[in-house]
Each structure stands twice: as C-alpha cells, then as structure tokens.
Structure 1
Amino acid sequence: MSRSSLLAGGTLPCLLLATPASSQEPTSAPSTDIIVTATRSARALADVPASVSVLTADQIERTPARTIDEVLRRVPSLDLPIAGTNEQHPTNTIVSMRGLSGIRALVLLDGVPINDPFFGYVQWSEVPLQTIDRVEVVRGGGAPLWGNYAMGGVINILTKPIDKTGLVAEAAGGSRGTYRADAHAALAGQGYGVGLDAGVSHSDGYVEQVESARGAATVPTSFTARTVALSGNADLAADLTARARASYYDNDQTFLTRANTNTQRTWRHTGTLSWTPRQGGSIDLTAFHNDEHFVTNNPGSPAGANPNNVEFVQNSHATRATDWGASLIWTQTFSGIVRLLSAGVDYHGIRGSDQARIFDETGAQMRVDTGSGNQRFLGGFAQADLRPLDRLQVLLSLRYQDFYSYDGVDDTPGGLGRVANRHERDVDPRLSLRYQLRGGFALRGAMYRAFRAPTLDNLYRGASVPGYILYSNAALKPETLEGAEAGFDVDRGSVRFQATAYASRISDFLTYRYLDPAALPAGFDIGARLINAGTARSRGVEAELTWRPSRKLTGTLAYTYADSIVTRNPEDPASIGVQQAGIPRHRASASLDWTGPDGITLSPRVRYLARTNGDPDAIYRTDAHFIADLGVSVAVRRDVEVFGQIENLFDRRYIGTNDGFTAALYGKPFTAVAGVRLKLGSQ
C-alpha cells in the first residue's frame, strides 16, 4: 500500500469509441497530422480547439524506453510518477494532467478504456511499444465527451492499423538482465484484415532503497510482463464494417523485498459495428468486457526484528474485478454554419471484490478482510461544431451522467459491514472557441466542467499493516472540476507551437484524514479514512514547440509550470497552500531526431524535473533532477536496423520516490540495451 494509492480513484462511466487514425509519415508537416481524440472526429491537428500533443511510432521507436509511460514523460502537463511502471507497486501507476495529482486522466487503447476498473491505475506495460502507431494527448476537461477520469485530459493509444500485410518486430537485451521482444503482424485482403500483437518484457531490476534501508530481505525490483492480442476487421457490406479485439496480459513483480510480490492477469474483449448510411455520417455500436485478477503480498516484520533483515507475508490481497459496457454513437458532418453534430448514449457496469488474508508472524491466518461492491454508469452526450464565421470555430459539448454504487460491503476491523447504496447525477458542459488569424496563427479558449467518481477501492476496500489501518468510505461523493484555459497556436510549415494558460478548481476533493486513536479497533495505533475534504485548485502554463525543417531532422521543446495546491481542508490545515504531492512546479524536456548518411540516426533526449513533495503536508520530498537519454540506430538494409538505447546516460543518482510509506527510493540508474528491428511490408 502506498500514499499515492490513497488518492487514486475514479471509474470510467462510458466507452465512447474513437476510430483509430491511419498511420502518418513521421516527417510530415505538423499541419497534416490527423487526430480523433479531441473532438471524436478525424480532423487536422491544426484545426482542433484544444491543447494537443501527438507522438508518432517513429518518435516512440527512437525514445529509449521499455514502456509507453516513459515515452510520455516529455509531454507537457502530463503528470506521472517519477518511477516507471516496472519499478513501483502497481497501484502507484497513477496518471493525471495539469497538476491535478492522483488519477484524474483517462487512458484509452484504440478508444477503449484501460484504467483499472477497481483501482483506476494504468498498467502501461500492457501495450508493447512496437504495436503502437501513435499516441494522442488532449489536455483539459474532457468529461463532456469522454466521461469520468477525463477530468484532466485524455490519452489515446492507437495501435498499428490492419490495412496491409506486414510484420514489425524487435528484440533487445542489455544491462541488469533486461530483455524485450515485441511484434505486430498483419494479414490484409480484400475487405478484411487480421492482426496479431505480442510482447514480452523482463528486467532483473536494481536495488531501489537508499542504503540505510537495505538489509538481508532487500532484493532488486524485478518485473516480467507478457501480452498477446488478436484483432480483426471486415467489410460486411458496402456501408457496414466490423472490428474486434481480444487480448490477454499478465505480469509478475518482486517489489523491494523477497516477500513483496505482485501478480496481475487481465483479459479484454471489444467489438464494434460501424454503419455509414449516408455520406459524412456514421453510427457506431460498441461493446466491451474486461476481467482482471490481481494478487499483492505485503510484508511485515516480527516484533523486535530489523524490518530490513527479517520479514513475513503479513497480508495477501486478492482482487477480482469485471467491467462491461456498450455505447451507441451517431455522427454527421455538414457544410455551412453547422459542420458536425454527434450524440451518444452509453452504459458501464463494474463488479469487484477484494479479500485480504491477514497473517501473524508464524504464518497463521488471523482473519479475512473483505471489500466489495458494484457500480453502474448511464450517460449521454451531444456535440455541435459551428462555424458562424469562416475563421471562427465554436465547439459545444454537453454530457448528462447518472452514477449508482450498490451492494457494498466493508468488512474490515471496525468497518461498516453492508453499506447504503448511493445515487449521484452530474451535468458537464464544455465551450471551446478557436479563431484563425493570418500567417498560421490562431487563438483558442475553453470553459468546462468535469467530474470523477470514487473507485470501488475508495468506496469499499480497507487496507492494513501491523499497527496501521486505512478505511475506505462508502459515503464519498464524486469530485467536480470547473476550469478555463486560453492559448494560441502557430502552424507555419515546418514549425508548430502551442502555448496554453489554464486554471481549474476541484470541489469535494478526495483526500484522507487521520483518526483519533481512541476510535480505532484493538491492535491499531494509527488509522485514516478517505474523505471529501474541501477544495483544491491548479493553474499553470504549458508550451510545446515542434520543428521539422526536413525529413532528416526533427526537434521538440516542452515546458510546464504548475501551481497546484489544496485551498480548503478543515481536517488537515497543514496541507493548505502546499504544492500537491508528485507535482513539480517546473519541468522541461527537449529531443532531437537526426538521420545522417548511411542510415545512421541519433536521438538524444533530455528532461528536467523540479523537486516534488511526496505527501500532502510536504514532510517527504524527492530530488530535482536532470536526465539525459540517447538512442542510436543504423539501417543494415531497407527492412532491418540495429539500435542501441541508453537511459540516464550520465548515471545521475536522485531520490525519485519518497512518500513516507516506504524508505526513500532511487530513480532508475544508467541502463543500456541493444537490439535489432525488422520491418517487412510496412514501408
């Protein structure tokens, strides 16, 4: 259990499927990029009234990384833990945007949610890098179109299209027992396509704890992930197409010590029917089902023993969750003042349970703590794209959301037992404006409201370690956000620049309060309960410059300033005015991709993060740090290249995790891998 996981929450109330964009040439001018996530309709990046970043498959290949979250670290205003998804406890793989902290961003895979249905976290290693065609990051309240989690924005990972027969694969290995192999194979014929994606990734890891916290029980954090997915599409008629995808994912992790282990198993199934009854119009019917099983073993130490040397499994949590849903979306484009109308209805159901077996130091089971419940989301949205003037775009969106949590059980020491059902409703509008000036300049602005519902974890799952207990809270209300932003775009051939200033306020902010020791059950000295404490606000500036002077050279610069604080919390006044945990005030990144003679490519990357707080009261802190990465590749022949990738080139040592729940942990040290990449039929 970690402090970050206490603040993680939310469940997606809808599936609003976006049609994946086709592959783009990585050297194309910025104005030719087509995206789908910002408005749920394909349009040029230069014609979108939002703050957007796009990462292409070529950029992903050249960035030294094992998982997609490590690639996303250079995107402005995207808040991720400093440690990568393989180097931390799974419930700590949180994601947010614009300084909101916790889990307040929606992550999609081909338009389908991959936020965990029970906890809300994202397991980034579920998507092998070589299977990704592009990633679209849309910042700002996206709830009117996408529903829950999209409070801070939306990340849509789009896999390679099945539009031609081919194979893209790579294999690599390197320091600390690291190896990975990813592949995307496609078979395309007249009116059909079948794709197979597969990947495996492993690392023996490194010892993360600071020296003072190491002992006989300490081991490197190791990780093995495997995934396979089968997808297909078929033209059933001239105006009717079908798409389907089925995937399996598992991982095994040993985290910090021998007894601290985590295993995950996830099945995902999605199917879509798309009907185009008239030109410029479409109706999409989508259904999905996910099934996950997660087991985490957490250690304790015998009384009087050194916790770094002696440990036993003090609790073992087995979490099982399923979610399923369906949506029906209508879209129609027009000419004239009204350019687009769309509307949709959706349903999302979630069922989950967590059973925690509690043991004493002899291995005898003392009790079983249970938390379980159900959630149901019903929603509908409408959107209109208006052009009252040739240069003025007005985008109006509105969502109605009905949220119901029921059949909840909180069976922990001092828990509530069976809890009352709760019913909530919310209405979320958004108004976006964009005015095109001469010379490739444009002005943007938006106002919006968004929400995020508490997860099953927040509502029903208690957690404990010797002497400490954290209570869930079935009475938690959804958070609501009101935000506004203003920015400008520059799109002049080889140069694209975006800058945006934003401000947002969250009401019913989800946090926790400590309990009076006299109110705790026997055997516990410290306890806390999740609460809707008060309000928080975040404001800042984000900017991104992309420069593509030729097919052989691409450069990017990005900067984010975030001022994110709690403004009202009667239960914890010390947290008021303190920069929120995990949110640096300043961060910057730069990258360059250069292709030289003889097929040689150099791809240096640098990033800087200011010091961050590890907890709400700023008692624990991480280090400011500057990291350089380097990628090099050489084309051996047209369809084969060899490559080398180095993370933390200068082996900078810094504290990357410091939340008070574990000893301070170091960030990733120097790591190098080399490999070969094969592309057949994909040129």
Structure 2
Amino acid sequence: MNPRLFIAIFLLSPALGAEESESLSEIIVEANAETVIPAHFAGSSTVIDEEEIAGAGVRSVADLLATKGGIRLSSTSGNSSGSAVHLRGFGENASSRVLVLVDGRPINRPDMGGVSWLEVPISRLARVEILRGSQTARFGNNAVGGVINLITKEGGKTASVIEAAGGSDGYMMARASHQGTYDGHGISFDLERNFTDGWRDNAASELESAAFRWNKELAKGAEAIFGVSWADEFNGFPGPLTKDRYLLNPRESIYALAGQADQYFSDQRRWSTDSSLVLGKGSDLSFELPVSFTRRDQEWNFGPGMHSDNLLETILVSPRVMAGGKAWSAEAGAQYRYDSLELDQFSEIARINQTTAAQLSRDVLGLYANGEWEPWRSWYLHASARWEVSEVDASARSFAFPEDPDLNFSRGNDETNQAYQIGLRWEPRSDLSSWLRYDRLYRLPSMDEIASYQGYPLSVPFNDQLQAETGHNVELGAEWKPGPWMFRMNGFAQWLEGEIIFDYLQNLNLNLADTRRVGLETAAGYQSGIWDAQFHYTTLTAEFQNGPYEGKQVYLVPKHELTATLACRPIECVTVQAEYQYVSDAFEGNDFQNVQEKLPSYGVANLLLRYEPKPGLSIYARVNNLFDERYATVKYSGVWYPAAGRQFQIGIRREL
C-alpha cells in the first residue's frame, strides 16, 4: 500500500461532516465525530463552552484546561503552552496516556513528544470536552487516563472576532477569526501570532498559525467538510537547575550560563488537512468517512553534537456506520493510522556532517463497535469493544560508528490488543444521575520507547520484548444538579499490567511492574447572575504492586490536586475572577525507592479582571502566580525545572 497516494485521492475530494445529530427519544445518534460524550455517559465529564472560552483571558488551551477543566500541568520550560497534561495519576510520560482529539480526530504523536497547545488557538474553539478515565475501547491507543476533545468552529451565524494582548516577559498576541454561511457554503478561518521571551532565560516561545474550514450540504442528508491548518512554532530549552541554583535564581538557564543557548531550541512547521463525507445525516442510519493527513517537519537542537531534522507524517482514515431507534443507538467502524518518522542527525547546528539516519513507521488498524440501549425507563446500558493490530518497523544507521550493533539495526514487531467497556447509567430525575463502568484497556509503546534511534543508545537498540501495557478500570459515581448548583463525585480504581517505565539503571524502557491507582474525584459548581464558582479536587494513590519496587509509590504523582475558581460580577459590565490551584508533594523522577527529597507541594493563585463597556467588547487584565510562588512541576534525580513566577498581561477582545 502507498499511504501517501491513498490519502491524496481522498483529500482531493472533500468529504465528510455533519454538525447536528438526530434525537431519538432518549438516545442520540451522532452524525459526526465532533462531540465524544455519549448521550448518557457512564462516567465523569466536563464541558467548557464557547462563552467560558471567550472569557477565560488565557494564552493557550493548556491554561484553559488548568483554570476551567481542573487539570494539572507540568512543564520543563516554564511555558504552559508546552505543558504535559495529567489525568488519573500518571506522571512520567503522561502525554502518551491522555488522548487529545480535534473534532474527534486524534493528534497525539507516535513518539513521546507532547501536543503543542498553541497549535489549536483559543479563537478556533467552539467547545472543549474532557472525559476522565479510560476510554480505550471507544478511541483506541493513548486513552488510558482520559480524553480531551477540542471542537472547532464551523460556518453558521456570521461572526468575527479580533483580539490582542501583551504583557510581561515580552508577551505579545494577536488573533483574528471569522465564520459565516455564504450561498450554502459554511466558512470559518482564523489567524494567530503568539510570542513570549519566556519567564526563564532561553525559554522563548513563538507561534504563527492559520486555519480554514468549509462545509456544505450537498443534498438532503449529505454533507461535506474540508479543512486545512498550518503552524510554525519555535521553542527554546532553558534546561534544569541544581537545587542551589534553583534557590538562588530560578530564571536562569544552565545552557545560557554555559554560553550555549543558541544550541538548545526547536523549530517546527506543521500542516494538516482533513476531509469528511456524511450520508444519511439526520436519519436513523448514517455513514461517515473522515480522512486526514498531517506533516510535521521539526528541527531539534539539544546541544553541541545533537542536532536533528525530524519529519513526521500521519495518515488517518476512520469510516463508520451509525444507526438508532427509539431507545437504542449503535455505531461500528474501522480506524487505520499510519505514522512515518524520518530522522537525520548532525554533529553541528549548520548540519554539515551527518552522524545518524533513522526511519520508523507504525501501522495501526482497529475495528470497533459501540452501543447504547434503554432497557428500562431511566436506565441506560452502554457497551463498546475494540480489536486492534499494530506493527512497528525501525531501522537506524550510524555514520560515525557503522559497526556498532546498538546504533545500526533494522527490526520490527507486531502485536494485537483488545479493549472492552460496559457502563450503566441511572437517571431517576432530570437533575440526578449515577453510573457504574468497567473498562479493559491498553496503551501501545511509543516508537521511541521501543527503538533507540536519536543518538542516545539504549541497552537494547530495538526492544521487541516491550509490549502494550494493559489493565482494568472501574468507576462508580453520581451527579446532582439542583437549580444553580452542581455536585459530582466519582471513585475509581485502575490496575495496569506491565506499566511501561524507563529504568535508568538498565537504560531501557520496560514493562516494569503492575501498578494500581485508586482515587476519588469531586467537583462542585454554582452559577447565578452575580456569582460563578467551580471546584475540582482529586485524591489518589499510585503504587507498584509487584517487582523490585513493590509497595512503593509511583514517582511524580501527587496524592492531592485541587483547583478552584470564583468569579463575581458586582455590576453588569465588570467581572472579577480568582483562580487557585494546589498540588501536593510527590517523589521526584527516578526515585523508585521513595527515599530522595520530594518535589515540594505548591499553591498558585491567579487573578482576572474583565470590563465589558458594551456588548461584544471586552478589556481584560490577568496576573498569573499572583503571589510570585517559587515552585517546580518537574524534578528528576536532584535537578529542578522551575515554573514561571508572577506574570502580567492585558488584552482587548472585539466581537463584530
């Protein structure tokens, strides 16, 4: 198969899409991949709507997830836009255990690289959905800790938005977006430039992006969507600090101090295109065919002698059929994903002498089916199943050491996995619900967990003994919404068999041990004309269940996380919002024995002031880390990665 030719054929004729879904009594059949929350979801979910997004006054989606979604972030640069997101007690490599979707399409990288939260600008979003807990049976790989779905705007009511902001550390931002319908053609587009020097030295971050989407009803019950987006992003690497330097000046960069700041940065260009076709929109039987292609060309510079060009291409094809009746709905489909990764490494930043070349590819084919049924009034039964086969091929060549078997190899392996989900939801009243759910889950190893190809040789160059981590998840929860109030409580337990962890003593990624995570999530909210309050609290324990570290806690996993937001509108045109996030201490990275100095707990407060002199016009001022808390979200083997101190920004937003 020639995957590039395959994708080109489909993308040349834009296809898929549907924006609305038909209501079938109590069951809803979705005619598109945009929303991922079932009509009667047996689990804990959070939705951030367009009004909350518009009023958040944040730089990136990561900040939005933290302030409005109650999600913990960690960063090695101090810039939240490059943060890893943490759900359900995962610390190291958390980005590989949270599935990120854009309009239902996965955008996680096949390697351990995280999602860039600036690539999908705030101005492009219509809604954000957060599903906590395993959803592997529904979505496949990466959905071990949860799913984040970013839903973008489509043509509809004509509207334009322009926004500009500036602040400390050289922060500058300009956004423009427009959407509308013209002669039956839905059009939306956005442009953004986002820049900061960074709170730390050599932590600059800059992104320019653009996106365009088109949708049209081709005939009754048939709709097409086509989209294309582009982004160019630069990020500096400030590096870690020893404890003494961290306490003396956390803004320092170890690389800048050594006079090598110009050797530590990344620069990447990405473009993506997708098309979709929906047949039978609004009927009891519909068919959808989405196809997408993404190309990411990255220059990675991590010090003298470590300079690489990294080309990543991803093809995704996901046909599916949906059907429904008065009290049931069903969906079945296939998902094929092809990832190709090419790497060329050089000994100098001018890229004259090549030292390494590598090629990796991964094919993943999954078949799945979902169904929801109302067997008795107010009771909803949901079931999902997925079968997936994956194949990884890798080859690496060292020009400097052509005889070294650790740097020269050509290997491959494949494996098959299954996932299941069954959930029961009870809704005795419109304001009260409870649920019980079981998941059988898995996560595939990342390409660079298996293969050593970037000039950092592992003890085994291609570890074909490394298998997907598998496990079980159980949840029990309830939600009550009396009037302006909301209360939710959800308990969970997750067991992973052979969790993949990097063992620095063996210099290898291993299915190291079985682990167990047990926790309780609580959320509360209140919304009225004057007050708006949100509260998220999670307590959990993550432990090794066997192996050499049996009974020890998994490192970089705090036991307590709390996020609270309180907004007040003392007069109609003024909003004052206070935000607070607390994270308890955790064992530092690589501390398997739980004997080293912990990563300390921290509490960070933010303040937002918004003034709306007339409808559609708002001026806002934000202070992040109001009390200039000194803290770090990551610490490995005694070295610290400081988080940002106090930062200011002011902006203006105009809706036309």
Q: 1:635 to 1:342 in 2, by over 3 A?
A: same
Partner of 1:303: none
Partner of 1:460: 451
Partner of 1:477: 467
1:554 corresponds, among 526, 529, 532, to 532
Deviations 1:616-667 (A, max 9, x none): 3143632211111111111132221211111011111123331238x41321
Give the RMSD, CA atoms, in angstroms.
3.0
Deviations 1:260-301 (A, max 9, x none): 1111111111111011166233211000001011222112xx
Q: 1:507 to 1:402 in 2, by over 3 A?
A: same
- What pairs up with 1:484-499 in 2 under 5 angstroms? 484-499=474-489
2:344 corresponds, among 338, 355, 367, to 355
Question: 8 Å contact 2:378–2:426 — kept in the other structure?
Answer: yes
Partner of 2:43: 50
- Asked if 1:254 corresponds to 2:254, the answer is no
Partner of 2:249: none
2:614 corresponds, among 637, 641, 647, to 637
- SS for the counterpart of 2:380 is strand
Partner of 1:203: 196
- SS for the counterpart of 1:145 is helix
Partner of 2:375: 388
- SS for the counterpart of 2:62 is helix
Letter in 1 for 2:384: S
How far apart in 2 are the matches of 1:146 and 1:18? 19
How far apart in 1 are the matches of 2:619 and 2:69? 30
How far apart in 1 are the matches of 2:289 and 2:441? 25
Question: 8 Å contact 1:85–1:124 — kept in the other structure?
Answer: no
How far apart in 1 are the matches of 2:631 and 2:432? 41
How far apart in 2 are the matches of 1:79 and 1:18? 33
How far has the Cα of 1:37 moved from its partner? Answer: 12
- Asked if 1:664 corresponds to 2:640, the answer is yes
Question: 8 Å contact 1:65–1:647 — kept in the other structure?
Answer: no
- Asked if 1:372 corresponds to 2:359, the answer is yes
How far apart in 1 are the matches of 2:467 and 2:390? 10
Question: 8 Å contact 1:164–1:189 — kept in the other structure?
Answer: no
- SS for the counterpart of 1:126 is coil
- SS for the counterpart of 2:97 is coil
2:495 corresponds, among 488, 501, 505, to 505
How far has the Cα of 1:503 moved from its partner? Answer: 0.7
How far apart in 1 are the matches of 2:604 and 2:20? 32
- What pairs up with 1:200-349 in 2 under 5 angstroms? 200-207=193-200, 219-256=201-238, 257=255, 258=261, 259-276=263-280, 279-299=283-303, 313-336=304-327, 339-349=328-338
Q: 1:69 to 1:622 in 2, by over 3 A?
A: same
Question: 8 Å contact 1:76–1:544 — kept in the other structure?
Answer: no
How far apart in 1 are the matches of 2:427 and 2:18? 27
Letter in 1 for 2:338: G
- Asked if 1:160 corresponds to 2:158, the answer is no
How far apart in 2 are the matches of 1:139 and 1:322? 29
Partner of 1:673: 649
Deviations 1:585-622 (A, max 9, x none): 10111112333325111121111111123313143632
- SS for the counterpart of 2:417 is strand
How far has the Cα of 1:395 moved from its partner? Answer: 0.3
How far has the Cα of 1:66 moved from its partner? Answer: 1.3
Q: 1:532 to 1:672 in 2, by over 3 A?
A: same
Deviations 1:93-126 (A, max 9, x none): 4334211332201001111122123435211111
Letter in 2 for 1:354: L
1:404 corresponds, among 387, 391, 397, to 391
Partner of 2:124: 131
Deviations 1:168-223 (A, max 9, x none): 1210001111111122211312421111111111111122xxxxxxxxxxx34111
How far apart in 1 are the matches of 2:140 and 2:272? 20
Q: 1:21 to 1:263 in 2, by over 3 A?
A: farther
Question: 8 Å contact 1:495–1:546 — kept in the other structure?
Answer: yes
1:536 corresponds, among 515, 519, 534, to 515
Q: 1:260 to 1:621 in 2, by over 3 A?
A: farther
- SS for the counterpart of 2:600 is coil
How far apart in 2 are the matches of 1:190 and 1:543? 48
- Asked if 1:647 corresponds to 2:624, the answer is yes
How far apart in 1 are the matches of 2:578 and 2:637? 34
Partner of 2:574: 600
- Asked if 1:612 corresponds to 2:605, the answer is no
Letter in 2 for 1:318: D
TM-score calculated relative to the size of structure 1: 0.82
Letter in 2 for 1:226: E
Question: 8 Å contact 2:518–2:540 — kept in the other structure?
Answer: yes
Letter in 2 for 1:502: F
Letter in 2 for 1:266: R
How far apart in 1 are the matches of 2:60 and 2:487? 27
- Asked if 1:144 corresponds to 2:120, the answer is no
- SS for the counterpart of 2:449 is helix
Q: 1:581 to 1:59 in 2, by over 3 A?
A: farther
**Structure 1: runs of 5+ lacking an equivalent:** 1-16, 23-31, 208-218, 300-312, 516-526
Q: 1:72 to 1:468 in 2, by over 3 A?
A: same
Partner of 1:565: 543
How far apart in 1 are the matches of 2:637 and 2:17? 40
Q: 1:472 to 1:76 in 2, by over 3 A?
A: farther
Deviations 1:131-189 (A, max 9, x none): 21211001111111111011111100112232121101210001111111122211312
How far apart in 2 are the matches of 1:528 and 1:43? 40
- Asked if 1:427 corresponds to 2:418, the answer is yes
Letter in 2 for 1:449: R
Q: 1:429 to 1:231 in 2, by over 3 A?
A: same
Question: 8 Å contact 2:287–2:321 — kept in the other structure?
Answer: yes
- SS for the counterpart of 1:177 is coil
Letter in 2 for 1:393: Y
TM-score calculated relative to the size of structure 2: 0.85
Q: 1:108 to 1:474 in 2, by over 3 A?
A: same
- SS for the counterpart of 1:420 is strand
How far apart in 1 are the matches of 2:624 and 2:647? 5
Partner of 1:521: none
Question: 8 Å contact 1:144–1:398 — kept in the other structure?
Answer: yes
Q: 1:157 to 1:445 in 2, by over 3 A?
A: same
Residues matched between the structures, number: 604
**Structure 2: runs of 5+ lacking an equivalent:** 1-15, 239-254, 256-260
- SS for the counterpart of 1:80 is strand
How far apart in 1 are the matches of 2:226 and 2:146? 26
Deviates more, 1:614-623 or 1:240-249: 614-623
Letter in 2 for 1:587: E
Question: 8 Å contact 1:371–1:461 — kept in the other structure?
Answer: no
